Each structure stands twice: as C-alpha cells, then as structure tokens.
Structure 1
C-alpha cells in the first residue's frame, strides 16, 4: 500500500495500521484514510491475496510499501465546515450551481449572480467557505489578498487585477476570492490617495457584466462591510451579501466534532456540554482551543517521556488522551474573539479589601453562593445582567469565586 507521507515503516507502525484496518472490507484500488496520532494518512490498496474483496483479521499479513504515491491536489469538502448550515446551502445555490450547471440559467434566460460578499467577525470561516465551494464545484480558485496586491507604482495594482480576471476567464469555471476587500476598495470619498480610487474604479469595471468575464464568480470577504465603496454593493457587482456570524451552541458543537475527530478524548468528555460553555468562540478560536488542550495534555505526560530517546515508545503514545480538565484549562489561554472587546484583566481584590459596607458584602456573598450552587441559574443570570463582563464560562466564574472562600 503506497502512502503519501514520509514515515518510518517498521513492524510497530505496520501493526498499528493493521489494528486500525481490522474488520474493514478492502479490495485492490481502494483508497482509505487512517487517523494516525491525530493526522490523516492516505493509503491505497495495491494487491490482495486472495483476489477480490478481503477482510483484515488478526491473522492477516499486512505489507506497507515505501514508495510515495503521486501527489494529489488537496480536496476540501463540506465536512470541514461546521455551524454554517444555512449559509452553505445558500452558497451552493448562488455559486456552485451556476459554475457546475450554467445551462440551467441559460434555459431560464437569466444571468447568475456575479458576486457574493461574505462579511462577519474574524475567524468565522469566510475564507474556508470560499475554498470549499471552489473545491466542491471543481472550479479554479484565484486568491487576492487585499493588502498584498497594492503597489506604490502607478498602474501596477490595476494591471494585476486585470491579469487575474483574464486568467480566471481563460480557465473558467473559476472563482476569484478577494480577502480583506475593504483594504483595496474603500469608500472613494473617504480616501485621499489616487491609487485607491483607481483600484476601485478598475474593480468596478472588471465586475460589470458576467458575460464579459465568462463563467467566473467573484467572492469578497470583509470584517467591515460598511467601509466598502457603495458602488460595489449594488446589483451587477456583489449581488448578494451573506453574514458569517459567530456560531451558536449547535454550531460550536459541530466545529468541536470536526476538530476533535482525530484527537483521543477521554470517555467522560461530553462535547455538547462543553460547546454550550464556549460563548463567543469562533471556529478559529475553537481550533486554537483544541490545539491548546493538546499541549496541556502533553505537559501531563512529559514526566513519563525520556526526551533524549530518538523515538517515543508506542505504548506511551497509545496511552495519551485529552481529559476534560485539559479542555477547560485551555479556555483560560484562548480568549473568545467575540468577547475580546469586553475583556478586562481581573484585579485581585478580596472581600477583606473592601472597608465597611458589611450589609452589601453579606448580600453579595449570599447571592453569589446561591448562584454558584445552581449553575444553570448562574448562566442565565450572568447572560442577562452582566453581558459586558461575561467572557468566561460559568464553571470558570464559579472556580474563581470559590478560590476566595
């Protein structure tokens, strides 16, 4: 089975792969993906004995060849996206459908959308969604990073834009994705330089008319849609605007399941409950949170590992797992994007530091103690009355309260 990763193929590695394939029906030509230590590794079945469909058992003999398989273009699927169900559905209708089946729109005598503007908080999946749409529609994708395309020399930026649009038309169906579009197309009445005004005018001219550009759709992404030139937001340019918002509890659960599917989680971890505590976390935050929890887990196992050895014993690797406390400890390191504007460093002030106000202190002690013993009530009360200060989950609030008593 040729593989497309550089690894040391020995008996230990072969036995590990065999254990992962045990019980699976396989035949020549099958391509399978195996999660190995949190990473996906692709395998291809080159030969079987006997011929036909075989099943891997404990007594089966498995051989892994050292040849590297032919490189393939990495494919991103809709399974990589979580928490954007309605947006994905809309994007498939607006972008993927006309790229794959333009004859539908020709038959009805209408032109498909020429552009879609994606806006929302950073880290919510705007770029990922564009990449998935391009991959699933088998379209060529041309990425334009707003700040990178700007050039101080006269006419250079406009020439780059024209070249990209021409190449996209020649290789259609294509998707042109302009990230941070507000950097190259701000409101012309608010800029003082001629470069920005010329770039906006050039972009408007290139986007005006789908028939001239061929089967090409333009996607734009911005964190500040109100700063864009109004001419770009009229029909004929960016026909549709889709908000990519911060995920809710169900969306956070989907994202958690995506990023933890290759992670060895402890049996007592309930991702649904954990996702409900991650208020304000975006997809990028959750990805960083999973990485940080893995680092926390590694720290627990470091005393058992001899770092001077060339290889870590597989017994230790197989025993490693991420515990619930690793996930919650990681929330102290990763601040949710949607709450950063409200985040303040907590001063270390105890009850004894407050002089007088005995009745008030007694009232708040009783109130907080009651709330901390009823976590559901605590979450509801904080979310309704202290939204500005609520940047951690209720378990962290409870833990910090109990540390002082």
Structure 2
C-alpha cells in the first residue's frame, strides 16, 4: 500500500500497532522513564503470519513514525537476501557493518524482512555458509546492551524455518502474530483503500463485501479495490483496448459501482485459498429452518465452555467463566452428517476472528515422506503458536481408522496435555452415534460438562418450515425466510422495474398488470439469496394465491401436501431432506405446480430411500 504514511493509514491491525509502540517506539522515545524504573526494553521483535497480512507494512509505517517523532529514531531496513554473498566472509561483514551503523546513529531500529532466508535452521544438511551467518547474527544480537537503544525486528512467513536459537529472550524477545483479518478488520481495510476516492461506495455495501471476503488478507483486499477500478474502466471505456494511441479518459465519469466490486471478486483468488481452502461458510437461508436452532444452542454452549473474552463477535458476549479444567472443546456427533457439512463451517464463519487450523485427511497425508504423527504434532504446534486459536477436525472417523496405533496415541496425548490455560478451541465432528464412538475419542470429552453435542434429525416443525419455502407466495413470507439477507436486498438492484414489467408483458401474464409490486418483490427477494437467479416457477409466480386465478394448487392442497411431506420425512437426516427439496422444486417447476406430480415425486423418492437404507443395513450385517 504505497499511500500509507503512518499508523493512521493502516486498517485492521490496532492490536499489532499498539504492541509495536509499547515494545519498540516508546522505549526509544522515553528511555529516561524506563531507566528511572529500571525497566529493560526488549532487544528484538519478530513478526510472523500468513503472507499479505501487513508485516512489512507495519514496519514501513514504523519508519515514518520514527522520523515524525520529536526525538529522531534511525531506521535501517534490509531484506534477508541483501546480506548474503557468494564470497566467503562477505555476508558476515555486511551484518557487522549494519550493526556498526546502528551504533553510530542510535537510537536505531534494524528491520530484517524475510529473516528466514538470512537465519535458517542449522542442521547437518545445511551448508557451512548459512551456519556461519546465523552464528554471527546471534553474536551481534548478544552484544547489544540492555540500554544500547538498538532494537532488531524480523519478519517472516515461515517461523519454523528460523533457527530456534534466535527465538529466545535476549534476542527476539517477543513474537507478534499477524492473522488473516476478521470481518471488522476487512471492513476497516476496505475503508482505508477507498478513502481517497471522490465517489465512494455506500457503507452498507462495504459491510456486505466484508462479509463475503472471508479468507482475504490485506493484500487481497487491496487487489480487489484495484480490480474494481479496472472493471469500471472496462465498463465505461472499452475502446481503450482497441486504440493504439493514448485515449482521453474523463475521471469524473469513472464511478466505481457495486457491480464492479462483484466482478472483481470473481477475478481475485485469495492468497490463503491458493494453498488450502478452509471450509468456512454461513448457513444459507434455505437450510436455516433446519439447523438454525442447533447452531444457536452450540454457540450458547461455547459461551459457557470458553474462557472470557475469547469469543468476541456480534452474537457471543463471552462473559461466562469456563466450567472445564481443560482447554475449551466440543464434539458434534450424530448419524446426521449436517454437523460436518453445515454446522461446522457455520461455526468457523461465526468465529472467524480466531485463527483457524484444519486437521483432516488431506492435511495428514498432503506431504509425502511425513508420517501421520509428525503431521499431528506440527498442526498442534501451529495452533498453539497463534493463541487464541481454533482447531477444527471435521469427520475425525474418516482418518481415525486409517492411521496406526502410534498416531492415535500421539493425538490423544496431545489432547490430554492441553489445560485450561491454553486458549485454543477444539471443534471435532464425528459421523456416528455415541455408542459407535471410539473409546479413545470419547475419553477426551466430558458429557457432564456438555462437551458432547448430539445433532439429531430435524423435528416436524423444522421440516415444515423448510419445505414451506417451496410454496412461498407473498412478500411477508419471503421476508421471514430471507431475514438474514435483508441487508443484501437493499444493495443489489440488478433489474429495473420497467424491465421486469416488459418481460412479463411479453410472456402474456395478465395478473402482473393487476398487482406488479408483489411480483417485483418476489424477484428481488429471491435474487438476494446469493444462490443464483430466481427460478422459472418464482418468475411466473403461479402460486400467488392472492392475485392469480390460474394456479394449480390452492391453500388447502398446499397444507395437505406439506402435512404429507412432514409425515413421510420423519427421522430423515438433513441430506435426504435437501435432496427431496431439490427434487420437489424441479418437479413443481416442470409440471406447473401439479399436485399429482408432487405426490408422485414424493412417493418415488421415499421408495428409493427405503431401498438404499435396506441395502446399507445388509452391507453392515
């Protein structure tokens, strides 16, 4: 971000900036106070975290803050590769020259970017040159006195690649983690990037955009804003791609609109998703009637299990005191796999402010030549390094029987070794009943403290609310089903009223002219779901019982069909309910809401499901 001049131009990193000021800037500016109370300021600070989260940005802003302070503080910045040389002894001389220059111009801050390339882990496989450089750097940092007014800062994306001797008090005293930005941080970062725009997008749209950019780092958001500007240029001046000479562009006509950001988001792949994609997603409005109650109960239970101020978001207060003696953990189990497909990702979306570490089959076996025990230990170390954090283990039974007994003992030992002082939330899902749960896994959780949550099949009321969405025919019903998308519906106006009326008049719909407002509201509400354009059945709206006289189903038939569906689907898991919903939706669209076709579809689906269940039982026996 080239326009950043000081800390006020950085968004979403208030905690990191405060720590940098307390540990780096204040000891150099107010050294007399530290000397009066015999306080020893730190010698070094290590920035680490995923790429693009603002480590180098904070360091460059720190350089500007040092030059703006009343007491001038020198700032020396070097890349790790800048200090390396192919000649023997030259790299050590460069390091000594940097520290000598800092002694002459103190108070001074030395910043090594990508310090893992300068001081890698020393081993028998490492060459002699790097080992000598690491030894020289260690000696130079040990030679700094407590009141030498010289502080060394390092930044790295791979903290495990740094030699462990540097990571101790007296050298890099403190390690500062830069996580991926949460919702509030992303919103603030977007506001910083558009601060200089003359025509800014509305704040409501920025809030929506921040909610849809989970996993984006600061660099990704900067690229998103830049791509949105280019989308605006393409939309207003497509001829510049065909013109050989410089085309005159009027900046006043360049107004970055919502559609430009949405197109830009499709073109930007977040840096974190290029390595691994975390299963983070919110509950869609269609599935909310089935699982919203379970999600609320799980969040309420986490509020009790987790320590204070760990779960800070819009939903959870986090003021309760943990009842457990170990670190907070919860197990979602049950034959209904909705906890793995929906509830787990929804919890990650709600707790996105916690750094998430996923442990599943792919992470265990993604590296050839590494055993499962090593992968388990490495993942646990990574989770403990960025406390408070979240360790998510989806469908633990998928790999539990694949690994040997040694890996299982290592996993249970690591879990038992976590006490309540470790602020790491462990979320595990298991696609089985409590009786089929392995004893080693069950011993990790205390059912008396409600650390085991059973996800049961939806009840009759939940199933009725779920299938009632097939027959939503009024604005009030749509508002009740799309309440979570209320903000989006005010933002997205993809179709004009005149366009809708013209298309419906071409289709020969006479009932639209009688009450066009209901039809327009239906279209907007459905497009607000974020799951594609409205279906043909919704556009034609044959279920509008208050205005249309050509509908195939009346209120009584709808109630009877709903009652039959609810009765047939008793004890059905969410997966079968979703499949039946999709089949009924397609059938009602093709047959124009014919009651016979819907009943026939229900009976065929029920018959097919019985056959599958029977075959599954025979295979198990």
Normalization by structure 1: what TM-score?
Answer: 0.66
Q: Are the equivalent residues in 1 in contact too, given 2:40–2:146 (CA < 8 A)? A: no
| Counterpart position of 2:208 | 273
| Counterpart position of 1:157 | 91
Task: Write the distance in 1 (CA, Å) between the matches of 2:194 and 2:535.
Answer: 31
Q: Structure 2 vs 1, CA of residues 402 and 97 (structure 1 numbering), >3 Å: closer, same or farther?
A: farther
Q: Are the equivalent residues in 2 in contact too, given 1:256–1:271 (CA < 8 A)? A: yes
The CA deviation string for residues 43-74 of structure 1, in whole angstroms up to 9 with x for no partner, is: xxxxxxxxxxxxxxxxxxxxxxxxxxxxxxxx
Give the 5 Å matches for 1:174-213.
174-189=108-123, 191-211=125-145
Q: Are the equivalent residues in 2 in contact too, given 1:99–1:137 (CA < 8 A)? A: no
Give 5+ residue unaligned stretches, structure 2. 68-72, 296-337, 350-357, 363-526, 537-585, 587-621
Q: Are the equivalent residues in 2 in contact too, given 1:269–1:323 (CA < 8 A)? A: no
Does the alignment pair 1:133 with 2:62? yes
Deviation at 1:234, TM superposition (A): 0.8
| Counterpart position of 1:88 | 17
| Counterpart position of 1:312 | 248
| Counterpart position of 2:311 | none
Q: Are the equivalent residues in 2 in contact too, given 1:191–1:197 (CA < 8 A)? A: no
Task: Write the distance in 1 (CA, Å) between the matches of 2:252 and 2:289.
Answer: 38
Which among 37, 41, 46 is matched to residue 117 of structure 1? 46
Task: Write the distance in 1 (CA, Å) between the matches of 2:132 and 2:80.
Answer: 14
Which among 274, 282, 300 is matched to residue 217 of structure 2? 282
Q: Structure 2 vs 1, CA of residues 259 and 190 (structure 1 numbering), >3 Å: closer, same or farther?
A: farther
| Counterpart position of 1:383 | 345
Deviation at 1:309, TM superposition (A): 7.4
Describe the SS at the equivalent of 2:267: coil
Task: Write the distance in 2 (CA, Å) between the matches of 1:396 and 1:286.
Answer: 24
Quote the RMSD (CA, aligned, Å): 3.7
Give 5+ residue unaligned stretches, structure 1. 1-38, 41-74, 345-366
Task: Write the distance in 2 (CA, Å) between the matches of 1:400 and 1:213.
Answer: 66
The CA deviation string for residues 186-235 of structure 1, in whole angstroms up to 9 with x for no partner, is: 12125421111000000001111432883211000111112211110111
Q: Are the equivalent residues in 2 in contact too, given 1:169–1:213 (CA < 8 A)? A: no
Task: Write the distance in 2 (CA, Å) between the matches of 1:395 and 1:84.
Answer: 32
Q: Structure 2 vs 1, CA of residues 244 and 288 (structure 1 numbering), >3 Å: closer, same or farther?
A: same
Q: Structure 2 vs 1, CA of residues 178 and 191 (structure 1 numbering), >3 Å: closer, same or farther?
A: farther
Task: Write the distance in 1 (CA, Å) between the matches of 2:289 and 2:83.
Answer: 56
Deviation at 1:343, TM superposition (A): 5.3
Does the alignment pair 1:300 with 2:235? yes
Task: Write the distance in 1 (CA, Å) between the matches of 2:166 and 2:181.
Answer: 27
Does the alignment pair 1:370 with 2:304? no
Deviation at 1:396, TM superposition (A): 10
Deviation at 1:146, TM superposition (A): 1.2
| Counterpart position of 1:167 | 101
Structure with more of its chain in helix, by fraction: 2
Deviation at 1:301, TM superposition (A): 0.8
Deviation at 1:108, TM superposition (A): 1.5
Which among 169, 187, 196 is matched to residue 253 of structure 1? 187
Q: Are the equivalent residues in 1 in contact too, given 2:120–2:163 (CA < 8 A)? A: yes
The CA deviation string for residues 228-253 of structure 1, in whole angstroms up to 9 with x for no partner, is: 11110111100000101111000001
Q: Are the equivalent residues in 1 in contact too, given 2:76–2:110 (CA < 8 A)? A: yes
Task: Write the distance in 1 (CA, Å) between the matches of 2:165 and 2:344.
Answer: 43
Task: Write the distance in 2 (CA, Å) between the matches of 1:400 and 1:234.
Answer: 57
Task: Write the distance in 2 (CA, Å) between the matches of 1:396 and 1:188.
Answer: 54
| Counterpart position of 1:398 | 531
Q: Structure 2 vs 1, CA of residues 175 and 400 (structure 1 numbering), >3 Å: closer, same or farther?
A: farther
Task: Write the distance in 2 (CA, Å) between the matches of 1:230 and 1:198.
Answer: 15
Q: Structure 2 vs 1, CA of residues 225 and 232 (structure 1 numbering), >3 Å: closer, same or farther?
A: same
Task: Write the distance in 1 (CA, Å) between the matches of 2:534 and 2:122.
Answer: 52
Aligned residues: 305
Which entry has the higher C-alpha Rg, 1 or 2?
Answer: 2
Give the 5 Å matches for 1:334-373.
334-342=268-276, 370-371=286-287
Does the alignment pair 1:78 with 2:12? no
Deviation at 1:123, TM superposition (A): 0.5
Q: Structure 2 vs 1, CA of residues 79 and 212 (structure 1 numbering), >3 Å: closer, same or farther?
A: closer
Describe the SS at the equivalent of 2:151: strand
Normalization by structure 2: what TM-score?
Answer: 0.44
Task: Write the distance in 1 (CA, Å) between the matches of 2:115 and 2:533.
Answer: 42
